[in-house]
Amino acid sequence: MSTLVTGACGFIGSHMVEVLAEAGHEVIAADTPSALEASDDDRSRWPSVSGRVGARQVPLDVTDAASVSRAVKCADLVVHIAAVFDYMASESLLRAVNVEGTRNLFDALLAEGSCKRVVNYGAGGIYGFPVAEEGPFSEDSPKRPHNPYLLSKWDQEVLAHSYRDRGIEVTSVRPVTPYGPRAIYGSGQLLIGLAERPVSFRNLTGNIPFVHVRDLCRATLHLAGHADADGEAYNVTDDGRINAVSLTRLIAQEVGAKARILPPVPLGAVRKALSGVARIDTARARRKGSRPLLEYDQVQYFGRDFIYTNDKLKGTGFEFERPLPEPGLRETVRWYLEHGWISGPRKRRG
């Protein structure tokens, strides 16, 4: 089977390419020309991976309809991963790539006609912040995307599924926090940050939902071949329960440092205070085109308790290789150490 992966040089895309190649797919690895030509040291770009597994590399900018038409030729299956995943991105860029780029992709698939099956990457964040009385997030939970990125991902999903009326089978995955080698943004910031400074507050006991990137890609492949998955969306999260305190201890142990667990703090008030600082820092960074120390939209996750169900995914017969996050998180921290992304508090970089 010939499978096109969009966003193939990104964190998740690079693992998707590997998982598909291992399963015997003929992989077409598509990404922007700049991503295909980037070095693996560039922020979260891994062009070498598709070369290593023998995938065919194809330039694709989803905002350019002509390049999309060229890329989709001959694909039997499309795994649509390409997106702007960056809380600092402008609303116009998020809409142009995540929403209008998805429209270009589906329009090209309709025009080309060979591919009738797409797995679309949504986001677990579309349910918004947890409300204790409502219980864990299931696929049917209300959607409350609370920032321009999440809004664009929800609009992308709704748009993608609208093409089912025109004969394309569409399934969406809604990953929570994917982690694993090559994650530099998102989970990477959390793990690298805690490795450099293993500090937490004793009452940061809310769940941090994780999924290993290999399981996410395995779930994607599984759902692509599952007839009942057409028209459906699936939370992709593991079975684990881990909080900031246990995560801090785990990471400290892995880098050979001592975790500092500080006395409890009023979490809501601290989040509010951090938000104030982050708002100014983020606005200043946007003006300068740099990155802030504290991203406003990431601070909003501080001190919350995110629990998702994965019953629907498991109901399709999917089995996790890593149902619990601890072993994979340790492996990932070792990967950061080996690749120089962290040196551990004992031996800091630079």
For ligand NAD, the binding residues (CB under 6 A) are 6-7, 9-13, 31-32, 35, 44, 60-63, 81-85, 97, 101, 121, 123-124, 153, 175, 177-178, 186-187
Q: d(Cα 45, Cα 56) in Å, to the nearest integer?
A: 17
Residue closer to ligand NAD, measured from CB, 46 or 201: 46
What angle (nearest 5°) sits at the alpha carbon of residue 175, between those of residues 90 and 297? 35
Residue located via tokens 């677990």: 124
First-to-last alpha carbon distance for the chain, in angstroms, is 47
Contact 197, 261 (CB under 8 A): no
CA 153 to chain centroid = 11
Residue closer to ligand NAD, measured from CB, 101 or 344: 101
Least separation in angstroms between residue 307's CB and ligand NAD is 16
Residue closer to ligand NAD, measured from CB, 79 or 257: 79
- Who's near 276: CB < 8 A, 6+ residues apart? none
DSSP three-state, residue 181: coil
Least separation in angstroms between residue 233's CB and ligand NAD is 12
Q: d(Cα 160, Cα 261) in Å, to the nearest integer?
A: 44
Residue closer to ligand NAD, measured from CB, 37 or 270: 37
Residue closer to ligand NAD, measured from CB, 220 or 344: 220
Strand 2-6 relative to strand 26-31, pairing? parallel
Least separation in angstroms between residue 349's CB and ligand NAD is 22
Residue closer to ligand NAD, measured from CB, 85 or 201: 85
What angle (nearest 5°) sits at the alpha carbon of residue 110, between those of residues 105 and 114? 100
Least separation in angstroms between residue 298's CB and ligand NAD is 11
Q: Taking CB positions, which residue lies at the least distance from ligand NAD?
A: 10
Least separation in angstroms between residue 256's CB and ligand NAD is 27
Least separation in angstroms between residue 62's CB and ligand NAD is 4
Phi and psi dihedrals of 104, rounded to 5? Answer: -60, -40
What angle (nearest 5°) sits at the alpha carbon of residue 254, between those of residues 342 and 212? 80
